[in-house]
Structure 1
Amino acid sequence: MHDPGIYALIQLMPTVLRPAGWALWAAATVLDDLADQRDAEPAERAARVEAWTQALHCELAAGTSRDPVRHALVDSALRWRLDLSSLRGAMISTRDDTRGRHFADWAAWRAWCNGAITPWVDQVRHLFERAGAPMTLRLDRQQDYQWFIDGARLTDTLTDLSADLAQGDLFLPQEALDAFPGAEDDLRQGSWSQAAAALVRELTALARQWVTRPAMTTGMHPGAATVLNTAASLMRAQLDAVDAAGHALLKRAPRPSLAARTRILAPARIRSKLAWSLTPLTAPGPRRPTVAASEPSPEADDTALRPPPPHRDGVRPPQIAADRMPAHVAVIMDGNGRWAEQRGLPRPEGHRAGTAAAHEMVHGALEIGLRHLTLYAFSTENWKRDTEEITTILEAIRRDLDEGPIRDLDVRQRWLGHPDKLPQELVQALLREERRTSTRTGLTLTVCINYGGRDEITRTAAALAQAAHAGDIDPHLIGQDDFARHLPHPDMPDVDLLWRTGNEQRISNFLPWHTSYAELCFTSDYWPDVDRRDLWQAITEYSRRQRRHGGATR
């Protein structure tokens, strides 16, 4: 976090954004330092991080702070109208790092990276957007963005190897360590063995591959593109220094030479200065009014999560034995248009009415203890519908995300689908809610928007082919687990119960991989007419069925 390269990158930002950039960098650095202080036990270090985080929460409401770093961050948030609630997860991740980490595989490591770094990077992107020079990422390059973040984290981990090992930490996935027998023990003992050297060479090559994503900045504002491309060049120079360090890597953090940094930064400064000189930028307006410190916003802290509201008739969910309860229910919300036509209303009115039913499903899922709920909101085939109906559906989804009626429930929100054709504002809102709720442990709500099952399988097969071409997987040994790992959400469990409303009996290209062994339930009511009791009834019916998965009846 003390890398002078970060300071150099902030210098490439337009002058009006630099104070806010420094405030974000300083806050992340302070938290990292508090977590790494060697004069205290892990519990004390975790308490210090938590105290700093809680103080920031209160000071955001008050609008000021006596701590210089927090004051700068509060001032930047109010001037630029930044929502810092998304940083809560990253701060929790920093706090929990004090207790040590163990990652079974790259997927677990990647989830840690996403939670710890992405929120800070997104705040910088929001700054560029507020200034009128958005760091817009191509919607078809979201995976490149994720690889870039992973590469930055791996570069940082390799650079800080000596400091982490001194505290007994090794922030690498077990999957990577096991590929080089003996390397883990050697590193923990401070021995630069052949296995340890081979591991580091492999990881530096992997990090270099991840941070080299030139297509990520295609079509981006040249000033913003210069910042990202320079960041990639600095990280590659850092990885060169890691490779050249050899056994010294276990004693101190390597740094690129001054000559190497100058070769990268000198032309970057010229390019960025020219780009910003030709760009009319928006200066920060007056500070946003603060709210009373005694009334903190519930979205800023997950400790303020509330239970779902009770049903209007006071009904309670049935008691379902744990071994008879589905883990994952997927719903095809059918009948909105017909519901409206039946009442002499335009079809779009049915979709507006269906939003309330979706909220009811979330409330009912939370009450009965369901772990995963997936809703089919808009399919790739729905683009064939009338333009007004399409607009109404997408606007209703966007408005629901902005108004946040389920924002203070213990719900982890996710999106499954493809960004093609979707309004960019909607995609960004979906990704924002994913990041903001990523640390929640209650219901996982996946909303399928611009989703098609065959499209998902085709893209997954393409990702597998690309992995095989890159040598990451043997094409002759590809199995079902390999395919599942390349799905958009590899951790999504199989669907136990697929429920469709609207008196239709087909699955309509919905989750074909995940529903291979799903129990099917079709009901006649149109979607706007259902509430949580219908979900409970479908789950009750599921609990009575005998599932054999191809086996014989006992």
Structure 2
Amino acid sequence: MGEDPVLRAAYRLCRRTTRAHDPGIYALIQLMPAILRPAGWALWAAASVLDDLADERGAEWAERSARVEAWTRALKHDLAAGTSTDPIRYALVDTAGRWRLDLSNLEGAMARARDDDHGLRLPDWAAWRAWSNEEIVPWVDQVRQLFEQAGAPMTLRLDRQADYEHFVDGAQLTDVLTDLSTDLADGHLLVPQEALEPFPGAEADLVQGRWSPAVAALVAELTALARRRVTRPAMTRGMHPGAATVLDTAAELMRAQLDAIDAAGPTLLKRAPRPSVVARVRVLGPARLRSALAWSLTPLTVPGPRPPVVGVRGPSPEAGGVAGLRPPPPHRDGVRPPQIAAHHMPCHVAVIMDGNGRWAEQRGLPRHEGHRVGTAVAHEMVYGALEIGLRHLTLYAFSTENWQRGTEEITTILAAFQRELDEGPLRDLDVRQRWSGRPDKLPEELVHALRREEHRTRDRTGLTLTICLNYGGRDEIARTAAALAQAAREGEVDPRLLGEDDFARHLPHPHMPDVDLLWRTGNEQRTSNFLPWHATYAELYFTPGYWPDNDRRDLWQAITEYSRRQRRHGAVPSSSPPPKTTVRPLAPDLTPGSR
């Protein structure tokens, strides 16, 4: 903080705000190394201010929404200026610059704070999870960035990602149960309908503020579920002991909070329960000793001078903001995409990019040269997808079977992916990037880079680009079945009532739409274990040219072919011919592989 008395005062205010708003979070921040605590106070004080603005009693929703929007807009301005007249924003601006934090990931959380939850009804746990993750995950990710920048990363084991997700679910469910009285008074019932249905009458009783046997049974069920979710001891194995202490203590505090919820009975609908002082001391006393020892033995990175700050949706492309996004570059020949009626456009195109190695061998080049050129072609497809207005593009980049290739080729391919993520050639396009596949065997740095891009681009609304890396369709189905079995074991689903929708909700990407068009290059006609669940009704399109011989015009040609097909999904064929599609010519010759 240097000698700036205004900044020191700003951080002190953040400390007081965090302590008053959420003593549990404050206690956890005190377990962090001393150099990180001011940053933790700044982050949670900002979250608290937004929460208070969104929930201000006596104010209409439009007024509360406008105040959140004004605060968020002011933060963007302050980040660009590097300072602020508001003390909490000033501390947050300093934290972001000092620790090189990318605050663009907070955009969704800030938008969630602005939106009104009054009357919100969430149909199932999947919808609940999507809603809750918008609120909590971005702030938690900023704390993880802090640990990483300090040289003590809160690294999660690659095979424990599901534990982390369950832990976050449990934390949010604990928060919902704790704030039940306040939320009900404000017209919120933030429990999914799927959880309410087994307890007839519970919803009406809750809305009326009545404690009934149905409500008691519901609360007991949800409390038990939250307890199972936050109890994830394997999640911190192999983690730095200081960071592990923070997470383990968070779990213990939440279990103490759930004990208080269990003991509250009817008073749960009148006021928020809190653990006793004795319970808190029992948890925090040993934790403080463990964390102090861990940090005393850890050399930490102290931040240097504060550089210009990356903003929230600001003009910097690094921030991923709207103002910094650019249109895709035009095709070198100036061709434009065909005009295809919206109802004839596919929503989701999946591509098996086959033939890189054979393309290189045909030219007397090493196989990795084909993969290099193939990467440039993948960029072309993204440009073409953006130009034609495609919503989802999924690329099969590396399968679980590809590990059978030579070590040199595999190393080259994975290094190329790492370089691609580090250099970010698609970074300033309106592309939401996602990854599908297993983390096993992949370099840990590559997995972190893939997940970083997922988080950084999560709020973009243009093309959703899914890269299937170390992906296998049967493996995806097996993992989904395992997740469903675990959900049944924990009482989240009834095995006797399982249907396709239940299975789909437990897929790694449950909101991925079905594939409309599956295109494979390289003169092969098979689907090779690619998206078997999503591609059940996909139109298949095979072309002879190797992948490096294609560009965006071939994607447009594939979509044009799709627009001419009549899709029936098992229905009786129509007696009338398929509707005609008006297509503007692309170029003199669009035969795949002709160039």
**TM-score, normalised by the number of residues in structure 1:** 0.95
> Paired residue for 2:34?
15
Corresponding residue of 1:134: 153
Distance across 2 between alignment mates of 1:401 and 1:291: 19
Match of 2:200 in 1: 181
Q: Distance in 1 between matches of 2:495 and 2:270?
A: 41
User: C-alpha separation between the residues in 1 aligned to 2:414 and 2:132?
Assistant: 31
> Does the CA contact (< 8 Å) of 2:314 and 2:322 recur in 1?
no
Q: Is 1:501 paired with 2:515? A: no
- 2:445 is the counterpart of 1:394: no
Deviation at 1:463, TM superposition (A): 2.4
1:61–1:293 CA contact under 8 A, matched in 2: no
Farther-moved stretch of structure 1 (1-10 vs 458-467): 458-467
1:474 shift after superposition: 4.0
Separation of aligned partners in 1, 2:496 and 2:265: 36
How far apart, CA to CA, are the structure 2 residues paired with 1:30 and 1:50? 12
What SS does the aligned partner of 2:329 have? coil
When the two structures are aligned, how many residues end up with a matched partner? 554
> Is this contact kept in 1: 2:79–2:311, CA < 8 A?
no
- Cα displacement (A) at 1:471: 4.2
Match of 2:474 in 1: 454
Q: Is the 8 A contact 1:64 1:74 kept in 2?
A: yes
Stretch of structure 1 that moved more, 537-546 or 434-443 = 434-443
Deviation at 1:397, TM superposition (A): 2.0
**Residue by residue, what CA displacement relative to the aligned partner does 1:450-506 show, whole Å, maximum 9, x if unpaired?**
001121122222223333444444444443333222221122222121101112222
Q: Give 1:95 shift.
A: 1.3
Could you say which residue in structure 1 is the equivalent of 2:544? 524
- 8 Å CA contact retained: 2:315, 2:321: no
Deviations 1:518-543 (A, max 9, x none): 22111122212211111111111122
Q: Which amino acid aligns with 1:218?
A: R
The question of whether the paired residues in 2 share the 8 Å contact of 1:62 and 1:291 is answered with: no
Could you tell me which residue of structure 2 aligns to residue 365 of structure 1?
385
Are 1:223 and 2:242 an aligned pair? yes
Tell me the residue number matched to 1:60.
79
SS in 1 for 2:339: coil
- Residue 240 of structure 1 aligns to which amino acid in structure 2? D
Residues 144-543 of structure 1 aligned to structure 2 (within 5 Å) = 144-290=163-309, 296-300=315-319, 302-304=321-323, 305-543=325-563
Q: By how many angstroms is 1:349 displaced?
A: 1.8
Residue 92 of structure 1: how far off its partner (Å): 1.3
Distance 1:277 1:445, change over 3 A: same
* 8 Å Cα contact 1:26-1:69 kept in structure 2: yes
Structure 1 counterpart of 2:505, which letter? R
State the alpha-carbon separation in 1 of the partners of residues 349 and 314 from structure 2.
37
Q: Map Cα deviations across residues 341-363 of structure 1 (whole Å, 9 max, x no partner).
A: 23332221221211221122112
Q: CA-to-partner distance for each residue in 1:371-396, whole Å, 9 max, x for gaps?
A: 22110011111122233322222222
Percent identity between matched residues is 78
Distance 1:175 1:291 in 2: 41
- Once the two structures are superposed, residues 411-463 of structure 1 have per-residue CA deviations (whole angstroms, 9 ceiling, x without a partner) of 22211000001111211121122222223333221110000112112222222
Structure 1: distance between partners of 2:245 and 2:507: 32
User: Aligned-pair distance for 1:147?
Assistant: 0.7
Partners of 1:33 and 1:293 in 2: CA distance: 20
Q: CA deviation at 1:294?
A: 13
What secondary structure sits across from 2:394 in the alignment? strand
In the alignment, structure 1 residue 91 sits paired with structure 2 residue 105: no
Alignment correspondent of 2:590? none
Distance in 1 separating the partners of 2:295 and 2:462: 45
Q: Distance in 2 between matches of 1:480 and 1:432?
A: 31
Contact 1:154 1:207 in 2 (8 A): yes
For 1:377, what is the secondary structure of its paired residue? Answer: strand
Partner SS, residue 179 of structure 1: coil
Equivalent in 36, 40, 64 of residue 45 of structure 1: 64
Q: Do the aligned partners of residues 124 and 293 (structure 1) sit closer, same or farther apart at CA in structure 2, a change above 3 Å counting? A: closer
Rate the CA distance shift 1:290–1:244 in 2: closer, same or farther, 3 A: closer
CA distance in 2, matches of 1:30, 1:479: 43
Q: In structure 1, the residue corresponding to 2:510 is in which secondary structure?
A: coil
| Cα separation, 2, equivalents of 1:220 and 1:92 | 32
Q: CA deviation at 1:96?
A: 1.6
Distance 1:9 1:43, change over 3 A: same
Provide the C-alpha distance between the structure 1 equivalents of 2:138 and 2:227, rounded to a whole number of angstroms. 22
Say which SS state the counterpart of residue 115 (structure 2) adopts.
helix
RMSD: 2.1
Deviations 1:177-199 (A, max 9, x none): 23322222222222222222222
Shift of 1:213: 0.7
Distance 1:510 1:6 in 2: 43
Structure 1 residue 100: Cα displacement: 5.5
Match of 1:24 among 40, 43, 47: 43
Matches within 5 A, 1:93-132: 93-97=112-116, 101-132=120-151
> Structure 2: how far apart are the matches of 1:295 and 1:497?
36
* Higher mean displacement: 179-188 or 251-260: 179-188
More deviation in 311-320 or 101-110? Answer: 311-320
Displacement after TM superposition at 1:308 (Å): 2.8
State how far apart, in whole Å, the 1-side matches of 2:55 and 2:142 are: 24
Query: Is the alpha carbon distance of 1:196 and 1:264 closer, same or farther for their aligned partners in structure 2, counting shifts above 3 Å?
Result: same
Query: In 2, are the aligned partners of 1:106 and 1:173 still within 8 Å (CA)?
Result: yes
C-alpha distance in structure 1 between counterparts of 2:195 and 2:312, whole Å: 47
Structure 1 counterpart SS, 2:397: strand
Q: Distance in 2 between matches of 1:293 and 1:242?
A: 37
State whether residues 59 and 293 of structure 1, in contact with CA within 8 Å, keep that contact through their aligned partners in structure 2.
Answer: no
Alpha-carbon spacing, 1:243–1:494, altered in 2? closer, same or farther (3 Å): same
